[in-house]
Amino acid sequence: MKTLKISTLKVNPILLAPMVDVTDLPYRLLCKEQGAGIVYTEMLHVEAIKHGEKKVHDKMRFDDKERPIGIQITFSELNTLKEIIPRLKDYDLVDINCGCPSHLTIDHGSGVCLMNSPEKVASAIKLLKKSGIKIVTLKIRLGFKKNNAVEFAKAVEKAGADAITVHGRLGNQGRSTPADWKEIEKVKKAVKIPVIGNGDVVDGKNAERLLEFCDGIMIARGAIGDPGIFHRINNYLKTKKEEKFDFVNNIKLFKKYLGYCEEYNLKDVNKIKYIGPDFIKGIKGASKLRAEFTKLKTFEEIRHFIEQF
Ligand SMILES: Cc1cc2nc3c(=O)[nH]c(=O)nc-3n(C[C@H](O)[C@H](O)[C@H](O)COP(=O)(O)O)c2cc1C
């Protein structure tokens, strides 16, 4: 089994992707326990960190049990980034998002827009490193509208980046376009730093294929409502046997997730309702149960509903 080495970190190479409204502390902890090598906060804009509302504070919280943990940030102004660096120092690494295509993000020149400004990103990496952030990584797409992943990766490597995750799509390509792993491989061949492949990993077999040429892989949608995917993929890599998805175990994991939400006082009903239906799959009558689930209003109602299984 491969080990992913990023600077001083040595981890299992199957990573949980940062996901807005999904990868909160309870969810990350669950995925960590199931075998994720590194977990990340959801993407946070440096402006939001600077203003420090309670919501952002909650999104930044972590438990030492999650280590190694990365905070994912995006930025447009280097000055704001500079101001918030002290808030980034407790994490094991800082990951710069150069891939988010949402309008809220790109209208401010951050996210995937940063792929059009390699010099600005290089300055950000140097600034973070000079300010004592030991490990700086990037998560990129193949480009904004035009593929410039290889040139971009070379530029950030030169600036001191410790690793790069490549999501194999352009910024203007939706999730229905298959991720282009061949383009990820081109990046891998062009740089010496570790390259983590991302896009469309759903089981042990395709995880193994991506790992043939990448140093690590990162899973997003495949892990929503199915933290056990990390256990199954790790097991496949060891035994070459694909374990079946086990819905009884998955409901147990959902209960554990709710327990963590309570323990850490992070009971965000909207968030739980967003990922909850994905936990309820494979069960007889799942679609009816999911419809009932969406009508629940409080944390207690959700807990009560799940206790019936
Ligand atoms: C609900 C959701 C939220 C996401 N939020 C983020 C994010 O905060 N930061 C980021 O870099 N990518 C984000 N992504 C993109 C994923 O990390 C990943 O790059 C993409 O979904 C492709 O991987 P997959 O095929 O395994 O889903 C998000 C994806 C989803 C589905």
pLDDT, tens digit, 9 for 90 and up, residues 26-63: 999 999 999 999 999 999 999 999 998 889 999 999 99
Can you say whether residue 52 is alpha, beta or left, with left for phi > 0 and alpha for psi between -120 and 50 degrees? left
* pLDDT at residue 62, rounded to an integer: 98
First to last CA, the chain: 36
At 14, the pLDDT band (50, 70, 90 cuts) reads: very high
* pLDDT at residue 1, rounded to an integer: 81
* pLDDT at residue 26, rounded to an integer: 98
* Contact call for residues 203 and 242 (beta carbons, < 8 A): yes
* Contact call for residues 59 and 42 (beta carbons, < 8 A): yes
* pLDDT at residue 52, rounded to an integer: 87
CA-to-CA distance for 254 and 258, rounded, in angstroms?
Answer: 6
Q: What count of Cα atoms within 13 Å lies in the side-chain half-sphere of residue 300?
A: 0
- Both tokens of residue 71? 């905070």
Which residue type is seen at 292?
E
* pLDDT at residue 262, rounded to an integer: 97
C-alpha distances (whole Å) from 252 to each of 30, 256, 295 are 11, 6, 21
Give percent of the chain above pLDDT 70: 100
Q: Is residue 98 among the annotated active site residues?
A: no
* pLDDT at residue 53, rounded to an integer: 85
CA-to-CA distance for 111 and 44, rounded, in angstroms?
Answer: 10
* pLDDT at residue 11, rounded to an integer: 98
* Contact call for residues 165 and 201 (beta carbons, < 8 A): no
| Per-residue model confidence as pLDDT tens digits over 227-258 | 999 999 999 999 999 999 999 999 999 999 99
Q: Does residue 266 surpass a pLDDT of 90?
A: yes
User: Could you tell me the distance, in angstroms and rounded to a whole number, from the CA of residue 18 to the centre of ligand 1?
Assistant: 6
C-alpha distances (whole Å) from 211 to each of 1, 8, 37, 194, 201 are 10, 21, 14, 12, 10
In sequence order, the 6+-apart residues with CB closer than 8 A to the CB of 66 are: 25, 28, 29, 32, 39
At 208, the pLDDT band (50, 70, 90 cuts) reads: very high
CA-to-CA distance for 232 and 204, rounded, in angstroms?
Answer: 7
- Per-residue pLDDT, averaged over 211-235, amounts to 98
Which atom of ligand 1 is least distant from the CA of 198?
23
Q: Does residue 108 surpass a pLDDT of 90?
A: no
* Contact call for residues 60 and 66 (beta carbons, < 8 A): no
Cα 90 to chain center, whole Å? Answer: 18
CA-to-CA distance for 303 and 113, rounded, in angstroms?
Answer: 41
CA-to-CA distance for 14 and 4, rounded, in angstroms?
Answer: 9
Q: Is the CB of 139 under 6 A from ligand 1?
A: yes
| Per-residue model confidence as pLDDT tens digits over 120-171 | 999 999 999 999 999 999 999 999 999 999 999 999 999 999 999 999 999 9
Instruction: Indicate the top mutation candidate among 221, 226, 271, 274 to test ligand 1's pocket, ranked by most ligand atoms within 8 A of CB.
Output: 221
- Per-residue pLDDT, averaged over 255-277, amounts to 96
CA-to-CA distance for 5 and 53, rounded, in angstroms?
Answer: 35
At 209, the pLDDT band (50, 70, 90 cuts) reads: very high
* pLDDT at residue 104, rounded to an integer: 87
- The whole-chain average pLDDT of the chain stands at 96
User: Could you tell me the distance, in angstroms and rounded to a whole number, from the CA of residue 23 to the centre of ligand 1?
Assistant: 10
User: Could you tell me the distance, in angstroms and rounded to a whole number, from the CA of residue 142 to the centre of ligand 1?
Assistant: 14
* pLDDT at residue 273, rounded to an integer: 95
* pLDDT at residue 308, rounded to an integer: 86
Which neighbouring-strand residues pair with 39?
Answer: 69
Q: Whose CA is nearest to atom 2 of ligand 1?
A: 19
- Report the C-alpha dihedral over residues 197, 203, 209, 215, rounded to 10 degrees: 40
- The residue with greater pLDDT, 281 or 269, is 269
- Both tokens of residue 103? 């309008």
The tokens 């374990």 sit on which residue? 243
pTM for the model stands at 0.97
CA-to-CA distance for 71 and 18, rounded, in angstroms?
Answer: 9
At 83, the pLDDT band (50, 70, 90 cuts) reads: very high
Q: Is the CB of 70 under 6 A from ligand 1?
A: no
Can you say whether residue 85 is alpha, beta or left, with left for phi > 0 and alpha for psi between -120 and 50 degrees? alpha
Which atom of ligand 1 is least distant from the CA of 219?
26
Residue 163: count other Cβ atoms within 10 Å of its Cβ: 25
- Both tokens of residue 3? 């080990």
